[in-house]
């Protein structure tokens, strides 16, 4: 038995060592941008190394310097552990003269990082996390939630499906902060539109076989299978739903799916799915131009969150330029009073509670016949105005009164 116990300890020890950090010293001649994300785990395709490239593209397009100071970057892998994410943030703030952090995937880690942002007064642009609590009960004066959130996903996908006749819902929910927030948001939208929530099962993160849960979903008699999960969980639950013929009697709803997931599943499995996204590479000439540059680097089309990494970095640097300083309060004031107009968002703006309000798109995954070229995966069903997508100010964040 001893070797096994030792093995577990060894495994934990190895996993606890974060990726090395490039050296950068507290230096007023530099503007330091950090990226804390899942670089090697299940969410690595959603932003990951591609996000680092997108961030660097923005810095290089901006010219590499701002206010005469060199722009340097720090990158860390949070390994989906909130304590590691928060510790890296704090370390950089204390030792490396950190000016801004881009928050990658994982709601739990982002909530932990937002506490450090408030404590250290450092602008924190959360991009990969879905949980809307980042801009309500967990909001801070320095948090911006940039790309999408659970509210906008539910307002897009759930309301579209209810209006198309999918009235009764059963949820497969990832059993952590993100999954429950997503399920709650979807349930609220379903109910508000006259639908009914008949049940849910909370599935441990990283479950490989979903068939037991799917049989329970089928037994509920609901018309819609709400998948309140992400990444590999989403792919594996949808695959099993297809295999067990559950998609013949229930309509699956992807409450959060990225284009990297659809690419991994393939159109034969994913076709017909409704999903909501804040950005798609093939929307217009601007998005295609960015996508082409990104594709040349990574041989994949960018996800919405990778595009958001570029946009957030660029707009932060523009705000620093406009404010004439990296002072966090002054930069936040500029960010919150300037419209965002670029390839990511048209007429976007950052609300007092930190939500970056911008148009969201309800998409349907194309059939293999409809798809004409590589990565031609989505057709736009509906464009939601930002105000509709992100909803009114909730009042849960003390910074913003409804």
Bridge partners of 274?
253, 364
From the list 47, 34, 145, 151, the residue with the least C-alpha distance to 105 is: 47
Taking CB under 8 A as the criterion, the residue among 31, 44, 111, 363 binding other proteins is: 44
Determine if 147 is a binding residue for other proteins (CB under 8 A).
Answer: no
Determine if 175 is a binding residue for other proteins (CB under 8 A).
Answer: yes
Minimum CB separation of residue 299 from other proteins in Å reads 10
Q: With 0-12 CB in 10 A as exposed, 13-18 as middle and 19+ as buried, what is 201?
A: middle
Cα distance between residue 73 and residue 239, in whole Å:
39
From the list 84, 72, 74, the residue with the least C-alpha distance to 116 is: 84
Query: Binding pattern to other proteins, positions 124-143, x when CB under 8 A?
Result: --------------------
Task: Identify which range of 116-124, 125-133, 207-215, 344-352 contacts other proteins by CB under 8 A.
Answer: 207-215
Cα distance between residue 398 and residue 54, in whole Å:
33
Cα distance between residue 257 and residue 184, in whole Å:
17
Taking CB under 8 A as the criterion, the residue among 34, 41, 128, 226 binding other proteins is: 41
Quick one: 124 or 377, whose CB is closer to other proteins?
377
Quick one: 161 or 304, whose CB is closer to other proteins?
304
Bridge partners of 225?
170, 252
Structure tokens at 148: 């999408």
Determine if 209 is a binding residue for other proteins (CB under 8 A).
Answer: yes
Determine if 206 is a binding residue for other proteins (CB under 8 A).
Answer: yes
Determine if 104 is a binding residue for other proteins (CB under 8 A).
Answer: no
Burial 219-230 (b: 16+ CB within 10 A, else e): ebebbbbbbbbb
- Name the H helices within 121-244: 150-153, 159-163, 177-192, 211-219, 231-243
Determine if 367 is a binding residue for other proteins (CB under 8 A).
Answer: no
Quick one: 168 or 211, whose CB is closer to other proteins?
211
Determine if 6 is a binding residue for other proteins (CB under 8 A).
Answer: yes
Residues in contact with other proteins by the rule CB under 8 A = 1, 3-4, 6-8, 10-11, 14, 40-46, 48, 175, 201-204, 206-209, 211-213, 215-216, 219, 231-232, 235-236, 239-240, 243-245, 258, 260-261, 263-266, 268-269, 300
């Amino acid at each position: 038995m001893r070797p096994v116990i030792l093995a577990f300890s060894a495994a934990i020890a190895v996993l606890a060592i974060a990726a090395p950090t490039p050296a950068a010293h507290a230096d007023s001649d530099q503007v330091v941008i950090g990226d804390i994300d899942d670089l090697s785990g299940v969410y690595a395709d959603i932003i990951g190394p591609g996000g680092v490239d997108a961030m660097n593209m923005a810095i290089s397009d901006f010219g590499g310097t701002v206010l005469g100071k060199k722009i340097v970057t720090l990158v860390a892998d949070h390994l989906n552990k909130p304590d590691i994410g928060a510790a890296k943030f704090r370390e950089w703030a204390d030792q490396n003269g950190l000016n801004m952090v881009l928050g990658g995937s994982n709601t739990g880690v982002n909530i932990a990082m937002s506490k450090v942002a408030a404590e250290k007064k450092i602008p924190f642009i959360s991009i990969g996390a879905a949980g809307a609590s980042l801009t309500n009960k967990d909001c801070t004066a320095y948090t911006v939630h940039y790309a999408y959130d659970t509210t906008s996903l539910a307002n897009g996908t759930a309301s579209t499906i209810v209006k198309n006749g999918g009235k009764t819902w059963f949820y497969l929910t990832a059993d952590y902060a993100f999954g429950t927030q997503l399920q709650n948001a979807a349930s609220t939208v379903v109910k508000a539109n006259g639908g009914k929530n008949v049940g849910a099962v909370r599935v441990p993160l990283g479950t490989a076989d979903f068939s037991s849960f799917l049989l329970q979903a089928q037994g509920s008699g609901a018309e819609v299978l709400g998948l309140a999960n992400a990444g590999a969980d989403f792919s594996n639950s949808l695959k099993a739903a297809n295999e067990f013929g559950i998609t013949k009697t229930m309509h699956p709803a992807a409450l959060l799916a990225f284009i990297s997931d659809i690419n991994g599943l393939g159109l034969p499995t994913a076709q017909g799915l409704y999903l909501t996204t804040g950005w798609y590479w093939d929307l217009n000439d601007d998005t295609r131009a960015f996508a082409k540059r990104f594709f040349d680097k990574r041989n994949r089309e960018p996800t919405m969150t990778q595009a958001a990494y570029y946009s957030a970095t660029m707009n932060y640097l523009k705000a620093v330029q406009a404010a004439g300083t990296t002072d966090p309060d002054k930069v936040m004031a500029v960010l919150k009073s300037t419209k965002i107009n670029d390839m990511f968002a048209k007429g976007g703006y950052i609300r007092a509670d930190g939500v970056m309000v911008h148009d969201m798109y309800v998409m349907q995954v194309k059939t293999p016949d409809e798809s004409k070229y590589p990565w031609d995966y989505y057709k736009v069903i509906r464009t939601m105005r930002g105000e509709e997508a992100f909803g009114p100010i909730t009042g849960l964040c003390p910074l913003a009164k409804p």
